[in-house]
């Protein structure tokens, strides 16, 4: 998501910036821009679209040779893709330029404060507050200015900043968003990822959170927020370019699974202000929620499974009736939709053909449309009445992982928000759920840290022809996603069943050695689930159980138990799905399947 490149040296900065950004195109972007300094003047060129559009714009200009500059490719989060919303952003006098990856969670209050001081904003982005804060705090020293700026920021960021008053140096910092420093001879670099600078140097500093770097063409110094100097070891890159694009991971899918703690944090944290859930520019409020008497959730594939979780949560917490429809079926069954119906459309790309067609059908029937999408400015986002973005960043692998978990994150927020608006939960109950939501990223890290445990299971069961997934309630909904992941990338036949349906036919398929995933994270349904596990175990099944920490009853029954960190039952789905994603991944890689591009599948299904 987004790409940063910065250069200072003796060579022309412009081709270095453009070539570096091109190496980051795999991250996905919707606009691009550069800032350089020539004759003590700051030159900003940026445009919506591809790098080729930026190059075409630059070809019509005569900027001359500059030996310092920063560049950026933007994946929109705040504000649709446009020339104005593209990076770099500047202060009003255009003496300071910044590029930024990440999300500034408190940008609304900072923007209001700056506007009250007379600062005028040219874009809809959260990033522009950084440029105006830098203007407000600038004292002639770039490091002092950046330290004061980041002391005001909440959220994640990697920032590069240049000023026309400093043509011989520039500064950068990172927090929860990647940034590296490249060390050359008579030139130095920053970048959000290694591929951007790999043709120039293989000597890298890997910055940690709150480390501030000051670059000149002759050297690099790093300090902390108290200006204490930091000495770092040089990391020598030995990867090839393709491996570098994946951040050293073997596959994009593995990289994206490991990004889940961060993107879930980005999706949740900014929507929680002073302990309460807040959706920016959202029309569903306490007055309108009382008029909604029914909700449809419409989606395809993994998004459909996220919608199934959403149905459970909204009905359980907010007590609003919910139907979940596969998008390709919705418009052909004469759905009963009117002005009191809310239709929640879920799509990673925002361009899914069946889902877009369902949206348009619902609009014809006067339904109110809420889109949950990952791509700002996509067709579904533009045509919906309200939009909530999942800030997962671009997902390259065909099999959805981080897009799905961010969709779940929105369903958690939305159901709690609706419930509190309708008075179905108290303020204290809502606060307890919010606190649990804020803890999820750390718990996800805990689950991801045990990948070797899941890899061992993959090496044991990758040759299976059939694997079954069982669960009740929310666990059944997660079982469907786990089954989909396994079949789409490993080509192992798998099915998910509501465990209570076993005796109605499914149990006939269970025989000696059949592998069964049994999801048992819901306390209210545990005893019944335990009975179902015993039923398949008695018929010779090999059981892989998933339960919450502290549940010891499965140890004597299951062949293997994977424990997720203790969490409120209603929120367990987001932790439960991760070992299922990893199991599918390891089965597929051990079999030698093309994990990122499974056969017959496309990332965004834009035809019916």
- Say how far apart CA 265 and CA 44 lie, in whole Å: 32
Contacts of 565 (CB under 8 A, 6+ apart): 443, 446, 447, 548, 549, 575
Asked if 471 contacts 477 with a C-beta cutoff of 8 angstroms, the reply is: yes
Give the pair of three-digit tokens for residue 233: 């070891």
- For residue 445 the two structure tokens come to 């890290």
DSSP label of 412: H
Handedness of CA 598, 311, 425, 362 (dihedral sign): positive
Please choose, from the candidates 571, 591, 598, the residue with its C-alpha nearest in 3D space to the C-alpha of residue 309. Answer: 571
Closest CA to 89 of 161, 12, 151: 161
Measured CA to CA, the distance from residue 263 to residue 391 in angstroms comes to 6
In the beta sheet, which residues pair with residue 466? 493
User: Is the separation of the CB atoms in 477 and 526 below 8 Å?
Assistant: no
Question: Measured between alpha carbons, how far is 174 from 181 in angstroms, rounded to an integer?
Answer: 11
401: its two tokens: 């992982």
In the numeric block, the tokens 């418009």 are attached to 331
Rounded Cα–Cα distance for residues 71 and 419 (Å): 44
Sign (positive or negative) of CA dihedral 186, 200, 27, 586: negative
Cα 460 to Cα 120: distance, rounded to the nearest angstrom: 61
Tokens describing residue 410: 């929105």
Instruction: Cite the active site residues.
Output: 2, 603
Residue 235 pairs with which residues in a beta bridge?
204
The SS3 assignment for 363 reads helix
- H or E segment at 438? helix 427-448
Q: Which residues, at least 6 apart from 605, have a Cβ–Cβ distance to it below 8 Å?
A: 300, 352, 353, 354
Look at residues 159, 189, 162, 190 and name the one whose alpha carbon lies nearest to residue 176: 159
**One-character DSSP codes across 584-606:** HHHHHHHHT--SSS-TT--SS--
Helix or strand (DSSP H, E) at 427: helix 427-448
Q: How far apart are CA 605 and CA 435, in angstroms?
A: 36
Q: 330: which residues sit within 8 A by CB, 6+ positions away?
A: 296, 298, 358, 361, 362
Q: Which residues are 223's β-sheet partners?
A: 212, 229
């Amino acid at each position: 998501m987004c790409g940063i490149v910065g250069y200072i040296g003796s060579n022309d900065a412009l081709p270095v910036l453009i070539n570096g950004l091109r190496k980051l195109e795999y991250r996905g972007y919707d606009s691009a821009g550069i800032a350089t300094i020539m004759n003590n003047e700051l030159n900003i060129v940026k445009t919506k679209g591809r790098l080729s559009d930026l190059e075409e714009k630059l070809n019509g200009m005569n900027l001359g040779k500059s030996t310092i500059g920063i560049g950026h490719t933007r994946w929109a989060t705040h504000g649709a893709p446009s020339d104005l919303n593209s990076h770099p952003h500047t202060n009003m006098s255009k003496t300071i330029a910044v590029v930024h990856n990440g999300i500034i969670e408190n940008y609304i209050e900072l923007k209001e404060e700056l506007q009250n001081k007379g600062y005028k904003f040219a874009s809809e982005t959260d990033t522009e507050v950084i440029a105006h804060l830098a203007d407000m705090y600038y004292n002639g020293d770039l490091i002092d200015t950046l330290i004061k700026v980041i002391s005001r920021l909440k959220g994640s960021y990697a920032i590069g900043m240049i000023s026309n008053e400093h043509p011989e140096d520039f500064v950068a910092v990172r927090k929860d968003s990647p940034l590296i420093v490249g060390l050359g001879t008579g030139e130095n670099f920053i970048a959000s990822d290694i591929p951007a600078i790999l043709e120039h140097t293989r000597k890298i500093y890997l910055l940690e959170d709150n480390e501030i770097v000051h670059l000149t063409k002759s050297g690099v110094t790093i300090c902390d927020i108290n200006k204490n100097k930091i000495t770092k070891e040089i990391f020598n890159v030995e990867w090839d370019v393709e491996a570098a694009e994946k951040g050293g991971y073997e596959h994009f899918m593995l990289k994206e699974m490991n990004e889940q703690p961060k993107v879930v944090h980005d999706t949740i944290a900014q929507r929680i202000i002073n302990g309460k859930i807040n959706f920016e520019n959202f029309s569903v409020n306490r007055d309108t929620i009382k008029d909604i008497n029914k909700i449809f959730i419409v989606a395809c594939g993994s998004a459909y499974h996220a919608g199934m979780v959403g149905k459970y949560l909204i009905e359980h917490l907010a007590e609003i009736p919910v139907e979940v429809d596969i998008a390709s079926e919705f418009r052909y069954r004469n759905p009963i939709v009117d002005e009191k119906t809310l239709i929640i459309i879920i799509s990673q790309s925002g361009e899914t053909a069946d889902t877009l067609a369902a949206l348009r059908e619902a609009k014809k029937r006067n339904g109110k449309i809420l889109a949950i999408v990952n791509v700002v400015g996509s067709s579904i986002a533009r045509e919906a009445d309200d939009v909530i973005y999942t800030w997962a960043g671009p997902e390259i692998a065909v099999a959805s992982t981080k897009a799905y978990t961010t969709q779940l994150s929105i369903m958690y927020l939305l159901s709690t928000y609706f419930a509190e608006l309708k008075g179905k939960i108290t303020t204290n109950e809502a606060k307890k759920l919010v606190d649990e939501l804020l803890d999820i990223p750390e718990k996800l890290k805990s689950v991801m840290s045990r990948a070797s445990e899941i890899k061992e299971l993959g090496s044991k069961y990758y040759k299976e022809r059939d694997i079954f997934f069982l669960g009740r309630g929310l666990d059944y909904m997660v079982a469907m996603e786990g089954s989909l992941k396994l079949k789409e990338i490993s080509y192992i036949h798998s099915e998910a069943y509501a465990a209570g349906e076993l005796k109605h036919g499914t149990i006939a398929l269970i025989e000696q050695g059949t592998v069964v995933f049994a999801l048992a994270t819901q306390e209210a349904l545990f005893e019944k689930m335990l009975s179902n596990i015993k039923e398949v175990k008695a018929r010779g099944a090999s059981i892989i159980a998933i339960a919450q920490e502290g549940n010891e009853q499965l140890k004597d029954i299951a062949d293997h138990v994977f424990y997720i960190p203790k969490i409120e039952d209603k929120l367990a789905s987001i932790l439960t799905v991760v070992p299922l994603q990893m199991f599918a991944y390891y089965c597929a890689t051990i079999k030698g399947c093309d994990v990122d591009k499974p056969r017959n599948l496309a990332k965004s299904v834009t035809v019916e």
